[in-house]
Amino acid sequence: MSLFYHSTRGFSEPVTSKQAILEGIAPDGGLFVSDGVLTPCLDPAQLLANDYDANARLVLGKQLPDFSEQEVAGCVRRAYTGTFDSPAVTPVTAVGDDWLLELFHGPTSAFKDVALQMLPQLMGVARQGDGREVMVVTATSGDTGKAALAGFTDKPGTGVCVFYPDGGVSDVQRLQMVTQAGDNVAVCAVSGTFDDAQTQVKRAFGDRALAERLAEKGQVLSSANSINVGRLAPQVTYYLDAYLQLVRTGALELGDELDFFVPTGNFGDVLAGYYAKRMGLPVGRLVVCSNANDVLYDFLRTGVYDRRRDFHRTISPSMDILVSSNLERLLYLASDGDVELVSSLMRDLAEKGVYTVPERLMEQVRASFSCGRADDERTRATIGRTWREEGVLLDPHTGVAKAVMDETEPSGHVRVALATASPFKFSRSVLQAIGEDDSSLSDFQCMDVLAERTGLTPPAQLSDLREREVRFTDVIAPEEVPAYVEQACARVFGTAREVAASSEVCE
Ligand SMILES: *Cc1c(COP(=O)(O)O)cnc(C)c1O
């Protein structure tokens, strides 16, 4: 079977994984998939001695067949050496009779670091022999922007430009972005909503005249969104690693199936679990956990994906999503590569805002996926109870997964909830959930009070923010985004060239 990648919507123009990573999205608007890389190859019995890096090398090597062993090894070393504050990278810890897979020990305290520390490394390798300078442009509702900044800052030949909704992110999230150090970064507020910013970023990507002007200077735009193969591939690692951790501690018998409860937004995280299963890991149920934006919950029960509904702002904002882009990859895989079906479903979504999946395909999907949902009230109650009864403090995204796990009938399998953010990143909501009054407090005071009441220490990269210098204060109208991107390219790559030129002179 082919080790090349192609679009979920057609087989024309197969590309290597390096090209797929550089381009982000297929030319026809589909997502890159490969038919040959998800073959059974992960046998836990053979891998018990593997540490996280060894697992990452194995999992990435399989999915990115045109990367050499040395290239993969270099990427893994640079991505995960000294960047996570746990030697296990993603440690598994106990919560009652179940387990948490802690994915928030990276530089921005959210799970997106696992992939966004890796993506710049993969892009760096993919760029070799390409020669173009890559400007990564992203609109963010909070977590992705900072994780992309942390990953791409000072990476040669790349720049990163982040847009966030003015007044639409928390103080902590805003400061995480506007205090970002580095010469190749741009951060800008947009006077509008996240959707306004996102729409304009997409406009910049689709602007042919802009693309041509940049191409003349050897520059190209790319995306750090979770549709990129280079963001999805690294996430498979922690499913395997969690399995091995649990076998080593004696909690799990080799060969037994493990159930995962995954707080879900864009469907990237839980899809990586499905990839692990297709690659041979004994995965039982993958439980998609939704907040009040329960479009996936309805889909998995009815087979109808309907985005025509009210959007809810919740205490788990990184899951406030109505179009879960990566679901398209699952539809492709579960239908055995029926690109015509996927194309017609995606056309329905674009034109009507709704699509209906044939029952035989839903049977395939339901063979691996279950679903559950928790609104803010139940999530808060779960955070409060888990703190009081287990002494474990959850953030609101993890709280959704734990709430769903708590109400699900035990399957007989060992169960793991994916813990996707540090509770200190969402101090106000967590403080409310454990029954403290936050009404007169600033975000940072909430962090201090939460630390005091729980005896836990906030990650330094969050508590230090209030002392950092603010570097970015631009606020623009949404329509100005494409022009801002072009200026950012000129500034970032112009400076980089001058620096390169002057250092040559010095030598
Ligand atoms: C992005 C994010 C999620 C959702 O992950 P998806 O891959 O989009 O499904 C959950 N929790 C947190 C904290 C996140 O930042």
Ligand 1 center to residue 189 CA distance, Å?
A: 22
- CA nearest to 479, candidates 207, 224, 223, 199: 199
**Does residue 373 lie in a domain region?**
yes
Please tell me the predicted confidence (pLDDT) of residue 86: 96
Instruction: Identify residue 195 by its one-letter amino acid code.
Output: D
From the CB of residue 442, how many other CB atoms can be counted at a distance below 10 Å?
Answer: 12
Mutate to test the pocket of ligand 1, among 318, 321, 426, 429 (most ligand atoms within 8 A of CB): 318
The helix-helix angle for 268-278 and 327-334 (nearest 10°) equals 30
CA of residue 372 to ligand 1 center, whole Å: 16
The predicted pLDDT at position 498 comes to 55
Asked if the structure places residue 439 within a domain, the reply is yes
Distance separating alpha carbons of residues 69 and 507, to the nearest angstrom:
33
| Ordered DSSP codes for 346-377 | HHHHHHHSEEE--HHHHHHHHTTEEEEE--HH
Q: Is residue 450 assigned to a domain?
A: yes
Q: What sections of 24-156 are H helices per DSSP? A: 44-47, 52-63, 69-80, 112-116, 119-127, 143-152
In the reported structure, the alpha carbon of residue 502 is separated from the centroid of ligand 1 by a whole-number distance in angstroms of 42
Best substitution site from 420, 422, 427, 430 to test ligand 1's pocket, by max atoms within 8 Å of Cβ? 420
pTM > 0.85: yes or no: yes
385 within some domain: yes
Residue 96's identity, in one-letter code, is G
Dihedral sign from CA coordinates of 351, 352, 353, 358: negative
The atom number, within ligand 1, closest to the CA of 268 reads 7
Tell me what pLDDT residue 507 has: 34
Nearest CA to ligand 1 atom 2: 318
Of the candidates 8, 5, 67, the one whose C-alpha atom is nearest the C-alpha of residue 345 is 8
Q: What is the pLDDT of residue 502?
A: 45
For 153-211, write each residue's pLDDT tens digit: 999 899 999 999 898 888 888 999 999 999 999 999 999 888 788 888 888 988 899 99
Residue-wise pLDDT for 133-154, tens only, equals: 999 999 988 789 999 999 999 9
Q: Are strands 92-95 and 98-102 parallel, antiparallel or unpaired?
A: antiparallel
CA of 289 to the centre of ligand 1 (A): 11
pLDDT of the residue at 225: 82
In a domain, 472, yes or no: no
Is residue 205 in some structural domain? no
Residue 190 lies in a domain: no
State the distance between the two ends of the chain, measured CA to CA, in whole angstroms: 50
Pocket probe mutation, ligand 1, options 114, 323, 397, 398, max atoms within 8 Å of Cβ:
397
Q: How far is CA 241 from CA 53, 74, 179, in A?
A: 10, 19, 33
- What is the Å distance from ligand 1's center to 106 Cα? 14
Domain span at residue 406? 92-106+232-465
Residue of 31, 90, 101, 111 to test ligand 1 pocket, by largest number of atoms within 8 Å of CB? 111
pLDDT of residue 505: 39
Cα distance between residue 345 and residue 341, in whole Å: 6
Asked, for residue 480, whether it belongs to a domain, the answer is no
Using alpha carbons, list the distances in angstroms from residue 69 to 58, 128, 316: 9, 16, 39
Instruction: Give how far Cα 267 sits from Cα of 52, 205, 321, 328, Å.
Output: 23, 22, 10, 9
pLDDT given at position 401: 98
Task: For residue 101, give the CATH number of its domain.
Answer: 3.40.50.1100
Amino acid 471: pLDDT: 96
Q: Which residues line ligand 1 (CB under 6 A)?
A: 110-112, 143, 226, 263-269, 318-319, 397, 420-421
Alpha helices in 318-434 (DSSP H): 327-334, 339-352, 359-366, 376-390, 396-407, 427-433
pLDDT at 405: 98
The pLDDT, as a whole number, for residue 504 is 40
- Tally the domains of the chain: 1
Residue segments in the chain with a per-residue pLDDT below the cut of 50: 501-507
In degrees, to the nearest 5, what angle opens at C-alpha 278 toward C-alphas 274 and 281? Answer: 85
